[in-house]
Structure 1
Amino acid sequence: MFLVMFFLLMMVSLILMFISLGFLIFEKVIIIEFILFKLNSSMIIYMIMLDWVSLLFVSFILFISFLVILYSKEYIKMELNLIRFFYLMMMFILSMIMFIMSPNLISLLLGWDLLGLVSYCLVVYYQNMKSFNSSMITILFNRIGDISLVMMISWMINYGSWSMMVFMEKIYEENMQIMMSLLLLSSFSKSAQIPFSYWLPMAMAAPTPVSSLVHSSTLVTAGVYLLIRFSGCFNEKMFMIMFIMGLNTMFMSSLMANFEYDLKKIIALSTLSQLGVMISIMAMKMYNLVFFHLLMHGLFKALMFLCAGKIIHLLSYQDIRYMGGVVKFLPFTSSIFMISNLSLSGLPFLSGFYSKDLMLEFMSMNYLNMISYTVYYSSSMMTVMYSFRLFFFFFLQEKFLVLVKVQENFLMVVSMMLMVLMVIMGGSVFMWIIFKTPYFTCFSKFMKMNIYILIMMGSLISYEYWNIQLNYKLKIVKIHKLVMFIMKMFYMPVLLLSFNKILFKMGLLFLKMDMEWLEYMGSQMIYSKNYLLKFLQIYYLYNYKEFFMLSLMVMVLLFI
């Protein structure tokens, strides 16, 4: 069964990739509509849009999916609920395809909502308290984006259609910008931008194959893909919000990753940093470049999760301080992990270099202030720092505390080997495919060498910081407090949880009002005092003649 799924996904991925190239060359777009049912004057339509963007993205997702499924066959072979896990993975792939190919808000919401529900089931796969808490935080943050899309759908009833084409026609209306604000909110919640960044590191409680597929190349990039699809509808204020939030997210996550010791959380924070890069470049209206980096990032980040999952699977812990010398026991896995790490850093001529170098160059050519420029380059340098920090812990430190048999596994090695080929060659191949004409950049030789200077400076600073961590303990209270401040995401979770406490107290107050005071003073009080009404009714029936004579006398007196 698993081999059938593996070969099926592989063949469909290759076919869709060649079809997408044909759509790109001949500039073809196919839109298919299915009328589900009619409601008064509105038709509920399920739409499918086939163009080179959607087909190429789906082919990449299927390529990563069949490698992750091959990897998972060995990773969770001892699990009791193995079939359930693979069904959940297939449900997630199906929901992602539904989301990608939907230009209609109704059909888009089906895939969007299903993504959140299936990701909740995958995060809670390990039945323990940590998984329960992480999955609840994940689904609650994703509910914010779902509510925003539902509000957009209800507002679009005024226009009689939920199609993306209506957005393009009504772009200059004031109401349309309100809906674009809701769309921006939903994409920020799904892509874990500030202030919704807390859920992505918490979601690392899921199995590592889930993190490789869900939290690197599909779920978290859904918000970026949504912004690419509706990119022509945003005004300059929206782009400024994107740039500020993306820049802050990139800086915060890069800084936090340099103080983290959990291997999976470091990779999750690097994912968060790259999402911030995509959102900030989106604000500069480089949509093809963002899409190109989205594809390349999905490749090398999925490979990083696969390598990290194999190391964690064999060692049974995630703390990088006890992984020193792992290269001696897992040379192939460690080498592939460092290739993906160098691709993340932007080392020439790996896949990450072609997108990251272009993004840095375009950021340098834009008219930005010095603060934005400094924060952007500092974040890029910190990306190199935490990448080389992992290199030093894996290759140079001698601390290996596990007395188990550690060896390479065939299925895991095959899946990682196929993906590392794409990480090495994919950037140079797809750069010539996606960009019809070469991007023109013009600046000095020093500016052109900035990415190489960043790599060298980041590696040197990371080496010195690694030496300090090994030889000295942070006993100074102020430094310890600063480190805790950074590792707690600048106390953002504390602020969010305090806000949640206020909401819970308000909910308890409304519960007391509804179940106690309103019930007692309303219907329950009327029902309990019903005997008074019965008494008045009996009194009226037995004294009917007296009431009739009294009313007659009153009428006579009135007419005299």
Structure 2
Amino acid sequence: MCFISFFFLFIFSMLNFFLFIYFIMNNLVIFLEWELISFNSISVVMSILLDWMSLLFMMFVSLISSVVIYYSKSYMSSELNLNRFILLVLMFVLSMILLIISPNIISILLGWDGLGLVSYCLVIYYQNLKSYNAGMLTALSNRIGDVFILMVISWMLNYGSWNYIFYLNFMKNDYIMMIISFMIILAAMTKSAQIPFSSWLPAAMAAPTPVSSLVHSSTLVTAGVYLLIRFNYLLLDMFFLKILLLLSGLTMFMAGISANYEYDLKKIIALSTLSQLGLMMSILSMGLPNLAFFHLLTHAMFKALLFMCAGVIIHMMNNIQDIRFMGGISMFIPLTSLCMNISNLALCGIPFLAGFYSKDLILEMVSFSNLNLLIFFLYYISTGLTMYYTIRLIMYLMVNDFNLLCIYNLYDEDYVMLKSMFFLLFMSVLSGSLLSWLIFSYPYMIYLPFNLKMMVIYVSFFGGFMGYLISNMKIYSINKFLMTYNFSGFLCMMWFMPGLSTYGLNYYFLNFSQKLLKNVDLGWSELYSGQGLYMIMKNYSVMYNIFHINNFKIYLFSFILWMIMILFLFLI
């Protein structure tokens, strides 16, 4: 099943790529309508929108998912129900494809809800308490976005159809469209884990690593960004965008800081995804959807590769995820280390790797734009923090001493995993330049002063240097850390967001519902309906049973009672 799924998805991705080339060369958009049911004057129609953007995104999603399924063949080899796992991943990919090709808000809800449901099934796949909690947090956080999409559906009843794609251009200033766009922004914020909905994304790390690789690169978390790219005509000149710009900038900053305090390998990469999502949302809220889409695609490649490398390392380290136990692994698993280093450098935006083309262009457009100082600093400090936690990760994993027991057998011979990783390595190097030629068919000239042009490099070097220093601090840093223990706890816990969203909001709702269950469902309603009726019926049936036995004593007793009553009546 693994190989068949891999083969078909790979062929599908190649087909999408050639179609994308044809569409973008000829500037084509195809709108298909497939009539499912026609009854009297009612027709239920499935709409499909094929343009260069949907085809390119589908190509990336199917390519990464095919590689991830091939990788799972080895990674999940000890899993008894491997076919069930592959089917869940395929359902996940199909939900994402449905969302990508939908110009209709109803079919978008189907894909959106499918992503939420299947992600819950995948997060709780390992079936332990931590997985169940993480799955519930993921599902409930995503339900908020689903509710907003449902409200958009009800608001769009004011128009003739749910095909939102027709209404974007000529209804910008309509107050109904303002309400709809506000709800779309909120839905996208929940799915793409912006502040204050960020806590579910690191919690979703409880899923198997191939799933994390798929979720954090091209599906689920990118659904919100993609939805806003599709709705971007509505979002221009809106007050909500300024709030979104601030919140996504803060998300970027918060995730970058938290990743520097984190020791769990998968959580560091998850927080890095959160930081990059903040970058995509912020550049989108500045009115540059094509640039956000470009970064979304380049980020998908190296982030999928980064998670795959993390999966190999966790396997080799006997399921240990703490980076303090690792070190010097480049001596033992050189090919995996090569893939990891290149994907890490692509994440940092090192020149001529995939991340450089999108990140450099984004930061130059930020310098070019008319922004205030706060947003400017949030962008550049977050870029520095990306370099900071990446160099720290490389130092802990590759350079520092190996901190585990000597008897561990670290080997780099799993060729199924290596083949899939090398394919993504090839794409992580080439996809940036390839996409910049395809998406931006004319050259951009961004003319800036020398210091602003070099600002990205200054910030990256400074961040990298700080990461190197911090990772080499041993016993000396403990005193410094204890002095700022509370502040460090605040930064480490993502500004207390998991506590607020899990215990703060959910606790009161769940506690209230527990009281309702106890007092109403198991209390009054049980007493007067379920158990109450049962007791009354039981008592009556016992009484009738006694009469039914036809016992002489009962008749004698009843006869005496009747005689006493008659005498009593006569005496009165």
TM-score, normalisation: structure 1: 0.90
Aligned to 2:332: 329
Q: C-alpha separation between the residues in 2 aligned to 1:455 and 1:500?
A: 39
1:251 Cα shift? 0.3
Task: Show structure 2 runs of 5+ residues with no match.
Answer: 534-572
Of 446, 452, 462, 2:451 maps to 446
CA distance change for structure 1 residues 397 and 230 in 2, over 3 Å: closer, same or farther? same
CA distance change for structure 1 residues 223 and 10 in 2, over 3 Å: closer, same or farther? same
Q: How much identity, in percent, do the aligned residues show?
A: 46
Q: C-alpha separation between the residues in 2 aligned to 1:247 and 1:436?
A: 29
Aligned to 1:269: 271
Q: C-alpha separation between the residues in 1 aligned to 2:119 and 2:151?
A: 23
Q: Secondary structure at 2:478's aligned position in 1?
A: coil
Is 1:307 matched up with 2:309? Answer: yes
Aligned to 1:278: 280
Is 1:382 matched up with 2:385? Answer: yes
Q: Secondary structure at 2:49's aligned position in 1?
A: strand
Q: Secondary structure at 1:334's aligned position in 2?
A: helix
Q: Secondary structure at 1:254's aligned position in 2?
A: helix
1:43 Cα shift? 4.4
Deviates more, 1:141-150 or 1:164-173: 164-173
Q: C-alpha separation between the residues in 1 aligned to 2:523 and 2:270?
A: 48
Aligned to 1:553: none
Q: C-alpha separation between the residues in 2 aligned to 1:124 and 1:512?
A: 28
Q: C-alpha separation between the residues in 2 aligned to 1:512 and 1:395?
A: 55
Q: C-alpha separation between the residues in 2 aligned to 1:361 and 1:138?
A: 35
1:269 Cα shift? 0.2
Letter in 1 for 2:392: R
TM-superposition CA deviations, 1:290-339 (whole Å, max 9, x none): 11100000000000000010000111201111111111111111111010
Task: Show structure 1 runs of 5+ residues with no match.
Answer: 528-560
Contact 1:42 1:160 in 2 (8 A): no
Aligned to 1:501: 507
CA distance change for structure 1 residues 264 and 521 in 2, over 3 Å: closer, same or farther? closer
Q: C-alpha separation between the residues in 2 aligned to 1:125 and 1:200?
A: 16
TM-superposition CA deviations, 1:55-103 (whole Å, max 9, x none): 0000011111111111111111111111111111111111111110001
Q: C-alpha separation between the residues in 2 aligned to 1:470 and 1:309?
A: 30
Q: C-alpha separation between the residues in 2 aligned to 1:476 and 1:445?
A: 38
1:41 Cα shift? 7.0
Aligned to 2:136: 136
Q: C-alpha separation between the residues in 1 aligned to 2:281 and 2:410?
A: 40
Aligned to 2:51: 51
Aligned to 2:157: 157
CA distance change for structure 1 residues 438 and 81 in 2, over 3 Å: closer, same or farther? same
Letter in 1 for 2:408: V
Q: C-alpha separation between the residues in 2 aligned to 1:79 and 1:224?
A: 33
Structure 1 segment 341-420 matched on structure 2, within 5 A = 341-402=344-405, 403-408=407-412, 409-420=414-425
Aligned to 1:423: 428
Letter in 2 for 1:492: M
Structure 1 segment 135-284 matched on structure 2, within 5 A = 135-168=135-168, 169-234=170-235, 235-284=237-286
1:419 Cα shift? 0.7
Contact 1:216 1:302 in 2 (8 A): yes
Q: C-alpha separation between the residues in 1 aligned to 2:265 and 2:526?
A: 56
TM-superposition CA deviations, 1:200-237 (whole Å, max 9, x none): 00000111000001122211001000000011011421
Q: C-alpha separation between the residues in 1 aligned to 2:40 and 2:106?
A: 16
Q: Secondary structure at 1:227's aligned position in 2?
A: helix
Q: C-alpha separation between the residues in 2 aligned to 1:227 and 1:340?
A: 27
Contact 2:200 2:498 in 1 (8 A): no
1:522 Cα shift? 11
CA distance change for structure 1 residues 332 and 520 in 2, over 3 Å: closer, same or farther? closer
Q: C-alpha separation between the residues in 2 aligned to 1:85 and 1:522?
A: 46
Contact 1:42 1:161 in 2 (8 A): no
CA distance change for structure 1 residues 469 and 378 in 2, over 3 Å: closer, same or farther? farther
Q: C-alpha separation between the residues in 1 aligned to 2:48 and 2:120?
A: 26
Aligned to 1:543: none
| Aligned CA-pair RMSD | 2.3
CA distance change for structure 1 residues 271 and 174 in 2, over 3 Å: closer, same or farther? same
Aligned to 1:111: 111
Aligned to 1:287: 289
Deviates more, 1:1-10 or 1:300-309: 1-10
CA distance change for structure 1 residues 346 and 321 in 2, over 3 Å: closer, same or farther? same
TM-score, normalisation: structure 2: 0.88
Q: C-alpha separation between the residues in 1 aligned to 2:314 and 2:69?
A: 18
Contact 1:354 1:431 in 2 (8 A): yes
Aligned to 2:550: none
Q: C-alpha separation between the residues in 2 aligned to 1:39 and 1:477?
A: 72
Equivalent pairs counted in the alignment come to 528
Aligned to 1:541: none
CA distance change for structure 1 residues 494 and 41 in 2, over 3 Å: closer, same or farther? farther
TM-superposition CA deviations, 1:352-381 (whole Å, max 9, x none): 000000000000111111121112111110
Aligned to 2:81: 81
TM-superposition CA deviations, 1:455-494 (whole Å, max 9, x none): 2111111111112246432465441111111111111222
Contact 1:106 1:153 in 2 (8 A): yes
Contact 1:45 1:106 in 2 (8 A): no
Letter in 2 for 1:165: I
Aligned to 1:70: 70
Q: C-alpha separation between the residues in 2 aligned to 1:62 and 1:501?
A: 39
Q: C-alpha separation between the residues in 2 aligned to 1:39 and 1:256?
A: 56
Q: C-alpha separation between the residues in 2 aligned to 1:337 and 1:302?
A: 11
Letter in 2 for 1:371: L
Contact 1:221 1:294 in 2 (8 A): yes
Letter in 1 for 2:426: L
TM-superposition CA deviations, 1:168-225 (whole Å, max 9, x none): 1332211211111111111111101111100000000111000001122211001000
Q: C-alpha separation between the residues in 1 aligned to 2:422 and 2:165?
A: 42
Aligned to 1:555: none
Is 1:483 matched up with 2:488? Answer: yes
1:39 Cα shift? 8.8
1:287 Cα shift? 1.0
Q: C-alpha separation between the residues in 1 aligned to 2:40 and 2:109?
A: 21
Q: C-alpha separation between the residues in 2 aligned to 1:219 and 1:470?
A: 41
Letter in 2 for 1:248: L
Deviates more, 1:506-515 or 1:255-264: 506-515
1:257 Cα shift? 0.3
Q: C-alpha separation between the residues in 2 aligned to 1:39 and 1:179?
A: 30
Contact 2:16 2:55 in 1 (8 A): yes
Q: C-alpha separation between the residues in 2 aligned to 1:420 and 1:471?
A: 38
